[in-house]
């Protein structure tokens, strides 16, 4: 059992390095280093029998926190999975593509998945319009909306069908600002984002009064799915605490 702790420690740190090298634009990779350090400390405590001198009350407190954390993780991951394969109905009035990191040479891999899913939907539903939502981050040369618009046009989407929204800084603002470009009480709207992000995006839309909102799930990069799922679970907790869900 104690050697499993060591293995988990090493794997967590290696995965953190892997995520860091992906240059995702966030510092979430540090969470994996923290998890690796926790498993490493547990290994050292058991290997050198330091756990024998720890008071029983403190041990039970630690176990309680660990169990509670595991329960919260399972609940949030379960919620994410409820919308993981959402396709959205045909003939929506609008789809909203939620913004993500853009690079100097165009959309990031995560954003391309969303845009490619939008292109596929728009090809199948020629009357649907698309809102591309995303502002300019501190590490971005252009707004996400402008880069997304160019990408869609390069894929053959007519410019008249594309509506840019370039002021948003997060998912809540994506949904909120986009609502000013449509009638959220009447229009049927699809929220296009990566599979792990659909539940939160759709929940925020419903909280903000979108009467007919649907998830449209794009794919995501399998090697980074553990990172994205865990990060998204924390995002759900944050938005729940802030009253966004």
Please, which pLDDT band fits residue 58 given cuts at 50, 70 and 90?
Answer: confident
All structural domains of the chain: 2-82 (no CATH), 94-241 (3.40.50.620)
Could you tell me the end-to-end alpha-carbon distance of the chain, in angstroms, rounded to an integer? 39
- Examine the pLDDT at 245 and tell me if it is beyond 80: yes
pLDDT of residue 57: 86
> Which residue, 96, 100, 99, is CA-closest to 192?
96
In terms of pTM, does the model score above 0.85?
yes
| Residue 148 buriedness (CB in 10 A; 0-12 / 13-18 / 19+) | buried
- Residue 69 CA to residue 58 CA, distance in Å, equals 17
- Residue 213 CA to residue 172 CA, distance in Å, equals 14
pLDDT of residue 89: 96
- Residue 40 CA to residue 105 CA, distance in Å, equals 40
Contact predicate 86/198, CB 8 Å: yes
Strands 106-107 and 102-103: antiparallel
The residues, any chain, with a CB within 8 Å of residue 21's CB and separated by 6 or more, are none
Q: Reduced to 3 states, what is the DSSP secondary structure of residue 125? A: coil
- Residue 225 CA to residue 117 CA, distance in Å, equals 18
- Examine the pLDDT at 10 and tell me if it is beyond 90: yes
- Examine the pLDDT at 33 and tell me if it is beyond 80: yes
Cβ atoms < 10 Å from Cβ of 237: 15
- Examine the pLDDT at 70 and tell me if it is beyond 90: yes
DSSP state of 168: -
- Residue 214 CA to residue 216 CA, distance in Å, equals 7
- Residue 150 CA to residue 144 CA, distance in Å, equals 10
Residue 11, CA distances (Å) to 14, 16, 154 in order: 5, 9, 40
DSSP state of 214: E
The residues, any chain, with a CB within 8 Å of residue 141's CB and separated by 6 or more, are 104
> Which residue, 41, 43, 35, 45, is CA-closest to 13?
35
**pLDDT, tens digit (0-9, with 9 covering 90-100), for 143-193:** 999 999 999 999 999 999 999 999 999 999 999 999 999 999 999 999 999
pLDDT of residue 200: 97
- Examine the pLDDT at 47 and tell me if it is beyond 90: no
Classify 137 in phi/psi space as left (phi over 0), alpha (psi -120 to 50) or beta.
Answer: beta
Residue 209, CA distances (Å) to 101, 123, 244 in order: 27, 28, 11
């Amino acid at each position: 059992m104690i050697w499993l702790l060591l293995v988990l420690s090493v794997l967590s740190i290696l995965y953190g390095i892997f995520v860091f090298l992906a240059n995702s634009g966030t510092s979430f990779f540090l969470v994996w280093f923290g998890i690796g350090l926790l498993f490493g400390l547990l290994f050292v405590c058991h290997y050198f029998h330091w756990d024998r001198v720890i008071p029983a009350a403190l041990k039970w407190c630690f176990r309680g926190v660990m169990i509670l954390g595991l329960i919260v993780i399972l609940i949030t991951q379960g919620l994410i999975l409820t919308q993981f394969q959402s396709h959205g109905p045909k003939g929506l009035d609008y789809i909203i593509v939620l913004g993500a990191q853009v690079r100097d040479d165009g959309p990031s891999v995560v954003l391309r998945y969303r845009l490619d899913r939008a292109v596929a939907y728009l090809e199948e539903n020629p009357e649907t319009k698309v809102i591309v939502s995303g502002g300019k981050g501190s590490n971005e040369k252009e707004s996400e909306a402008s880069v997304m618009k160019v990408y869609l046009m390069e894929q053959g989407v007519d410019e008249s069908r594309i509506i840019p929204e370039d002021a948003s800084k997060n998912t809540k603002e994506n949904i909120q600002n986009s609502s000013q470009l449509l009638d959220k009480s009447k229009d049927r709207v699809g929220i296009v984002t990566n599979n792990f992000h659909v539940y939160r995006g759709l929940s925020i839309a419903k909280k903000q009064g979108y009467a007919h909102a649907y998830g449209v799930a794009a794919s995501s990069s399998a090697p980074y799915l553990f990172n994205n799922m865990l990060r998204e679970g924390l995002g759900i907790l944050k938005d729940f605490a802030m009253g966004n869900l």
